[in-house]
Amino acid sequence: MSAVLDYKRKIYAIRDLPTLPVIAQKVLTLADDDEAGPAKLAAIITSDQSLSAKVLSLANSAYYGHRAQIGTIRHAVVVIGTTMLKQLSLGALVFGTVGRGGKEREKFWEHSFATAMASRLIAQRMDIPDTELCFMGGLLHDIGEVIIEAHFPGDEEIDHAEVGAWMAERWQLPPQLVESIANHHLTNIDHLKSPVARCVNIANICAEVAFDGGGHPAAIPHVVAELQERKAEIQRMFK
């Protein structure tokens, strides 16, 4: 058995790998339901204290520019909109379930969310219709690092991109997401045929440049600049 297949077998044998949180599943399902109004979404979100806090924080942030302070989840749902709500819910709840571990984990999720935002900006610039899918790909691109830390600490042979792709398969996420997670560090064009994969690949670079400094020829200047403007806002989300 090859080393790659052996690791995949070991990962699929782990019984306590995180599943997509129940609250996230409900929010994602309701947000896709045209008949589910703000009241239903608000009721689900209110059942999770951490998610409620993040939804209110985002609705009151400079990103939305409201002068009057927003104090209810229902009002926040209307302000944020269902698309952003799905993205925020998945990020916050996966962060709360999988991502524990102090400052280093905060930095990990800051980079993940910055990559997600960059991915959406790039998708808009490139007229990629799946902007939401690009955001999700950016958000989850490094999820394999969390699995390795929990189950294979210190093992330098295992590739976090492959592990993340296996996790995405296990969550039954769309194939384009699986591909974008698997290939987010690759430069061979054959591995980046999917627009979503290309988007996440470049977004990862832009987020690194924006948060860690330095330069990279593939970085997109206006995306880096916007991330730098929102850096403090992104960091507050994961405190």
pLDDT tens sequence across 180-203: 998 888 766 665 678 888 899 999
Phi-psi group of 154: left, alpha or beta (phi > 0 → left; psi -120 to 50 → alpha; rest → beta): left
* Length in residues, the chain: 239
CA distance 175 to 168: 9
CA distance 14 to 151: 9
| Bigger pLDDT: 7 vs 208 | 208
CA distance 117 to 73: 23
Residue 5 tokens read as 């297949």
Quick one: average pLDDT of 100-129? 82
Instruction: Write the pLDDT tens digit of every residue in 45-93.
Output: 777 776 777 777 777 765 566 666 788 888 888 877 777 777 666 666 5
Angle CA 177–92–214, to nearest 5 = 70
Residue ranges of domains in the chain, CATH in brackets: 1-83 (no CATH), 99-239 (1.10.3210.10)
**pLDDT score, position 200:** 92
- pTM of the full structure: 0.72
CA distance 198 to 138: 11
